[in-house]
A and B are shown apart, each in its own frame.
Chain A
Amino acid sequence: MIRDQGLASKLWRFAVWALAGLFVLNLIGVMAAVVMNSFARRWLGTWLPAGWTTRWYFDAWSEFQLSSVVLVTFQVVFAVVLISGMIGVVTAYALARRDFPGKRAVILLFLLPLLIPPLTYGIPLATVLYQVGLGGSFWGVVLINLVPSLPFVILVMIPFIEQIDPRIEAAARVFGAGTGSLFLRILLPLLLPGMLAALLLVLVRTIAMFELTFLIAGPTSQTLVVALYYAVFASGVRASQSIDAMAVVYMVTTLFWLVLALQFVSPTQIVARAKQQQAS
């Protein structure tokens, strides 16, 4: 690496770090404000709250029926992860191993949901789901969330599968492995790290996916993020501390899974394709 030592370079370096520092500082401020308010007895016009209490958490837990919301959130998220994982890996395998006419069109079809704003396909899809009677139901929420997560799994898994040498599979075939044992005993162990990474990312994304769930969720099929939206939207009805207590519950949930995901994935992988070769 080249490091320049001139004065202008030093000033520029300082400016860039100052900018990054300011951003992180404000980010921490936003999160700390929520956490602090959720423990505040009263917080009006001062730097710090007047006193501390944990009662807002109990309030939020009973008022918002948080326990059932959290339960629904996990049911939805795990259903989405499971379905998109199973279908996605199978599809990615076919796309990684075979070249066929129309493959580019198929890949484009899987790319589109990630390029178009969720509401653009969400509104027609929600209309269709309401017409077949899935509006407001658990499976409606799961189905609408599959649209962005299935392509995501596929696009993360394709490069992962491509890097597995097809000769390993051929060798297993030569030794008499059937399709079932080939998949269970050869492919699955090799793919497991990649699948874990992709599925954890889908999990984190689905917990945070607001727009699509919001369109279709009914009173009993709300996820945490939608419940939080309604709470903030109707602020004034409820104490702001109680809403922030709920926000903290939400934050802890996503953070838990994010930290777990980061054990397996490099952060750039969350947005970009797996590009591990140079990084290591």
Chain B
Amino acid sequence: MNRPSLRLRLAAQGFDATTLLVLPGLAVMVALFVYPFVYGIVDSLMPREGVWYSNYTRFFTDRFQFATIGATLWLALPVTIVNMALALPIAFRVRLMSRQRLLTTILVLPITLGTVFVADGLLTFLGPQGWFNRALILVGLLDAPVKLTNNYWGVFASLLITGFPFAFLLTLSYVTGIDPAIEQAAATLGAGPRQRFFRVYLPLLVPGLAVTFCLAFVQAFAVFPSAVLLGAPAGPTRVISIAAYQAAFEQYDHSMGSAIAIIMGLVELVVVVAVLALRSLFYRGPAGGTKG
């Protein structure tokens, strides 16, 4: 019996010279992502003092540290929900527009400007003498300027401005991915606009919206520069990334810093997995009308 050569057997499995091209990219990711991650986990289990898990017990028993989880979620969840609630109806209107390019371009701006620029701009714009307060006083909605910077609302506004375009663009690409013939069929059968939205579009959109929610949430959850610049970094907007940064680079306790960074990743993953699990309760199937 003549067995095919090792080379042929591997090729039948999908391993040949072309497959090996994946190696450089894989090597980079292992060196820069997997290894540091494992290192971080091990490092977090080797605290400066105490037993192996004492970094984690320190974090969860110290109210000042533990409260950062709540502070982060209290910022990230409402912002993500508001962003999605705004993005969905606007995406539905924009889908009907023939010239989407200008509007979408304007909306992309804040993503690329980044959180630092937006924070800097908002400090002037939302400040007590800024245009926002002045305009509201001029219109008569306010008697005296409200404090919008260096507190919760400053960070909220910054996350709204940088997060909304992101949520909007994702939602728009999901909405335009649904075949309009499905809506027309529903309209032919006599469904009104509300029925078409809730009974046709929404079920088809749920998987896409779940993904959008997760990605928008990941962004908001990672909030760091704007929480320092626009918020009250010692008080209500002391988010978990500030705690991780302070531990690692201000107190030079990299073990504790890694521990907080990993707690941060875990909390985020819990929310993401929960949302994706909820999604699977809904309809799964094709939303486009094209074949294949």
Seen from chain A, the residues whose Cβ lies within 8 Å of a Cβ on chain B are: 1-4, 9, 12-13, 16-17, 19-20, 23-24, 26-27, 29-31, 33-34, 37, 44-45, 47, 87-88, 90-91, 93-95, 97-101, 103, 106, 109-110, 112-113, 115-128, 143-144, 146-147, 150-151, 154, 204-205, 207-211, 214-215, 225, 228-229, 232-233, 235, 240, 243-244, 247, 250-251, 254-255, 258, 262, 266-268, 270-272, 275, 278-279
Stretch of B1-9, B22-30, B47-55, B62-70 with 4 or more beta carbons under 8 angstroms from chain A? B22-30
Whether the pair A120, B125 counts as a contact (CB closer than 8 A) is: no
Secondary structure dominating the interface of A: helix
Known: A19-B86, A27-B110. Is A123-B245 also a contact (CB below 8 A)?
A: yes
Whether the pair B14, A147 counts as a contact (CB closer than 8 A) is: no
B57 at the interface (CB under 8 A from A): no
Contacts of A146 on B, CB cut-off 8 Å?
28, 32
Partner of A128, one of B39, B121, B196: B39
Bound CA–CA A102/B191 (angstroms): 46
Interface size class of B (residues with CB under 8 A): 35 or more
Whether the pair B36, A87 counts as a contact (CB closer than 8 A) is: no
Bound CA–CA A235/B119 (angstroms): 13
Bound CA–CA A182/B233 (angstroms): 56
Q: How far is the CB of B175 from chain A (nearest CB, A)?
A: 10
Whether the pair B222, A117 counts as a contact (CB closer than 8 A) is: yes
Assuming A2-B187, A100-B13, A262-B105, what are 17 further A-B pairs, CB within 8 angstroms? A2-B184, A19-B90, A20-B103, A27-B109, A94-B21, A98-B19, A101-B14, A109-B26, A113-B33, A115-B218, A117-B221, A119-B244, A210-B114, A210-B115, A232-B229, A247-B121, A254-B113
Whether the pair B40, A127 counts as a contact (CB closer than 8 A) is: yes
Closest to B257 in A: A123
B131 at the interface (CB under 8 A from A): yes
* Chain B 250-292 near chain A by CB (<8 Å), digits 1 or 0: 0000100110111011001100100000000000000010000
Bound CA–CA A196/B40 (angstroms): 35
B132 at the interface (CB under 8 A from A): yes
Partner of B108, one of A24, A47, A90, A270: A270
